[in-house]
Copies of this chain bind each other. A is one copy, B any other.
């Protein structure tokens, strides 16, 4: 019989990985707030945090984070074979597997999150700036993953906000 990792174990391992790598859920939620506050009047950090937490419940998101973090950590420990070790350690500019894993997170909530992810990644908004400073460790994957979770939470929020608007509109009809 096929054995498998339980959902709760995957979830806890993901939260632990983020914490171990210095990324708080609140740091991600701040990015979501930055992205979505002008579209959702009165948006609070609590609502953003709640959406970030929901994104982290998704199996695909957990798979991407656990894989990317493992590669970052092994690069820090010089445990990867060459030339991959050098590529990930230096966040080589032609290496795009980090962006690919980020996309697999965004896709769960549709394509509307692509541009938000690209935007905060380029701006190095909030925690993304800290992650890009090499003296804080190797975060070749983590900066893209954190940005993608924030953008995915923004997409989730956009869908939820629309539902709310619809309900209000119906009440007024």
Taking Cβ atoms with an 8 Å cutoff, the residues of A that contact B are 2-7, 9-10, 13, 39, 59-60, 63-64, 66-67, 70-71, 73-74, 79-84, 86-87, 90, 92-97, 99-104, 107-108, 110-112, 114-119, 121-123, 158-159, 162-163, 165-166, 169
* Interfacial chain B residues near A99, Cβ < 8 Å: 111-112, 114-115
Copies in the complex: 4
Q: Do A96 and B13 have beta carbons less than 8 Å apart?
A: no
* Interfacial chain B residues near A97, Cβ < 8 Å: 63-64, 67, 101, 104, 111
A-B contact list, 18 entries, CB within 8 Å:
A2-B90, A3-B86, A4-B90, A39-B93, A60-B110, A63-B95, A70-B71, A70-B81, A79-B79, A94-B112, A97-B111, A99-B115, A100-B100, A100-B101, A104-B110, A108-B108, A108-B110, A119-B122
Q: Do B94 and A162 have beta carbons less than 8 Å apart?
A: yes
- Report the separation of the CA atoms of residues A136 and B166 in the bound assembly, to the nearest whole angstrom: 30
